[in-house]
Amino acid sequence: MTAQAKPAFDPYEVFNQPPALEDHNLFTTDHALMAAAQANGAGWAEAQLTAYGARLGTAETIEQGRLAHKFPPQLKLFDRFGHRRDEVEFHPAWHNIMRLIIGEGLHAAPWADPKPGAHVARAAAYIMHAQIEPGSQCPTTMTYGSVPALKRDAALAETWLPKIYSRQYDPANTPVERKSGALIGMGMTEKQGGSDVRANTTIAEPVGGASREYIITGHKWFFSCPQNDAHLVLAQAPGGLSCFFVPRWLPDGTKNAVQIQRLKDKVGNKSNASSEVEFHGAHGWLLGEEGRGVPTIIEMGTYTRLDCALGSAGLLRGAVAQAVHHVFHRRAFQRHLVDQPLMTNVVADLAVESEAATMLALRLARAFDRADADPQEAAFRRLCTPAVKYWVCKRAPNAVVEAMEVHGGNGYVDEGPLGMLYKEIPLNSIWEGSGNVMCLDVLRALQKGSDGLEAYFAELALARGSDTRLDAAIKSVEAEFADLTEAEHRARRIVEKMMATLQGALLVRHSTPAVADAFCASRLGGDWGHAFGTLPKGVDVRAIAERARPV
């Protein structure tokens, strides 16, 4: 008997496909993130960031993120007997991811354990988490941002802050006194107003006496994370638009009259629940003073805007890491893709964009660490928070699309990670104030005083003289502020120049010569095209690609 000949074609033999990017450390393989954390005062957190990066990069955690995204939450309005439930049911993978992020303290660690660099350390972990499962960052971010507002009320702080500071994730739908941990959400916008929250029609009527309790009637068009234990809500009180703390359960153990109408069917962010609700005589407690609702909740918004920038930087890094991983393994025309000059240019250009976003976002986080003790850092934070949020969130989507294209047709198949990143990446530019709102907030900060601009230029001065292209860019920004006629018309142009120049200054000081040269030549020197992959000749694109490789 002769041996059977091997068939000429084996349909199950797979070759020239890159291995899945898993079982790798998201921190130690991200040299830009490591450099940014060190430069901004979180070098002490290297061990914990390394440990978290290892956990996030496991095949198991990546699969949990995929499942949480694939099986979105389900709204259960009533039980089988007809009683209102107003509950959201999640896939077990969501709860596993929430245990991970809350266990790491990304919802409250800088408040629960304050130390120099705590916000930067959290920011670095947040950037890593965004690459695996960004939906879970919504309840995490709002809880993080709520703490300064809650500290304004001693009674609420005494009850709620110990639960918020806990690293125990407790999804139970029960009064906070019975829970091991608590999460906070927010509800600002309504059908008729959107970002114009002063057009809100929801009414809050005081109970009377010395109590700060009010009865709230109305609706919210976007009410994030209805499963959270309490929300900060804007409503019209007798003294004007005010901010209220609205718990899911009341102190007497009964359910508050907050009724979910439906969950939003969003383009992305599928794992997370966003809802529309009505208040049918719901109880809320005034935070701050009547008529000061916007300043009170905007303090929360300052922190959530930071997280929008961090989240976009993380999504961008996730897409770039996938693209660079791909080109180092995939072959075409007898060479690896990374050995083909045009493709090397593309991934190097993407890597420069990602590193600039990471460095800028962590520099902003440093201002959050130091604002209480340093007036210059406080001024920098006030001016640059909306500017950084605008710029990083606005730049990232095009880069993620380019990273998807690097993969060819495989990139557009939703089984892989690029589909989730692609659908998630527009979100941070929209939430917590869209692009125009951010640029107008920069102008408002400028109108309030010169200290913010002075702090900004002081940061640029640290790098002045290091690169002639950077020096020219600084002069160009100075010229923008020499004449502020039609400033609103030019607001985007002004903010873009400010942020690109600041990125260049940070990279010159804290990155490698190859990355800094590429950024200054292209983004500041003008030697660049209109798409990624147009870095000028003379740039060390291979060194940049190697630096961005997730190994």
> Distance (Å, rounded) from C-alpha 35 to C-alpha 509?
11
Q: How confident is the model at residue 382, as a pLDDT?
A: 97
Question: Mean of the pLDDT values across residues 307-335?
Answer: 97
Q: How confident is the model at residue 471, as a pLDDT?
A: 98
Question: Mean of the pLDDT values across residues 363-384?
Answer: 98
Q: How confident is the model at residue 6, as a pLDDT?
A: 64
Whether residue 2 is predicted with pLDDT greater than 60 in this model: the reply is: no
Output the six-digit token pair for 169: 């994730």
- On whether the CB atoms of residues 419 and 412 are closer than 8 A, the answer is yes
Confidence tier at 4 by pLDDT (50, 70, 90): low
Question: Mean of the pLDDT values across residues 9-30?
Answer: 93
- On whether the CB atoms of residues 87 and 76 are closer than 8 A, the answer is yes
DSSP E strand boundaries for 430-477: none
160 burial level (CB within 10 Å; 0-12, 13-18, 19+): buried
Output the six-digit token pair for 195: 């970002």
Neighbours of 360 (CB within 10 A): 26
Residue 278 identity: E
10 burial level (CB within 10 Å; 0-12, 13-18, 19+): exposed
What mean pLDDT value characterizes the chain? Answer: 96
* Cα dihedral: 540, 546, 548, 551 (round 10): -170
> Distance (Å, rounded) from C-alpha 405 to C-alpha 410?
9
Confidence tier at 19 by pLDDT (50, 70, 90): very high
Whether residue 385 is predicted with pLDDT greater than 70 in this model: the reply is: yes
- β-strands 230-237, 184-187: how paired? parallel
* Cα dihedral: 133, 135, 138, 140 (round 10): -40
Q: How confident is the model at residue 7, as a pLDDT?
A: 65
- On whether the CB atoms of residues 532 and 307 are closer than 8 A, the answer is no
Confidence tier at 210 by pLDDT (50, 70, 90): confident
For the chain, give the percent of residues with pLDDT over 70. Answer: 99
489 burial level (CB within 10 Å; 0-12, 13-18, 19+): exposed
CA atoms within 13 A on the CB side of 271: 27
Terminal-residue alpha carbon distance, the chain: 50
> Distance (Å, rounded) from C-alpha 386 to C-alpha 92?
36
Whether residue 197 is predicted with pLDDT greater than 90 in this model: the reply is: no
- Per-residue DSSP letters for 200-261? ---EEEE-STT--EEEEEEEEEEEE-TTSSEEEEEEEETTEEEEEEEESB-TTSPBPSEEEE
CA atoms within 13 A on the CB side of 400: 28
> Distance (Å, rounded) from C-alpha 74 to C-alpha 84?
15
Give the single-character DSSP code of 74.
Answer: E
Separation in Å, CA 229 to CA 87, 296, 312, 437: 12, 19, 27, 29
pLDDT tens digits, one per residue of 402-447: 999 999 999 999 999 999 999 999 999 999 999 999 999 999 999 9
Q: How confident is the model at residue 8, as a pLDDT?
A: 75
Answering whether pTM is above 0.95, one says yes
Q: Diameter of the chain by CA atoms?
A: 101
> Distance (Å, rounded) from C-alpha 345 to C-alpha 180?
51
Q: How confident is the model at residue 196, as a pLDDT?
A: 85
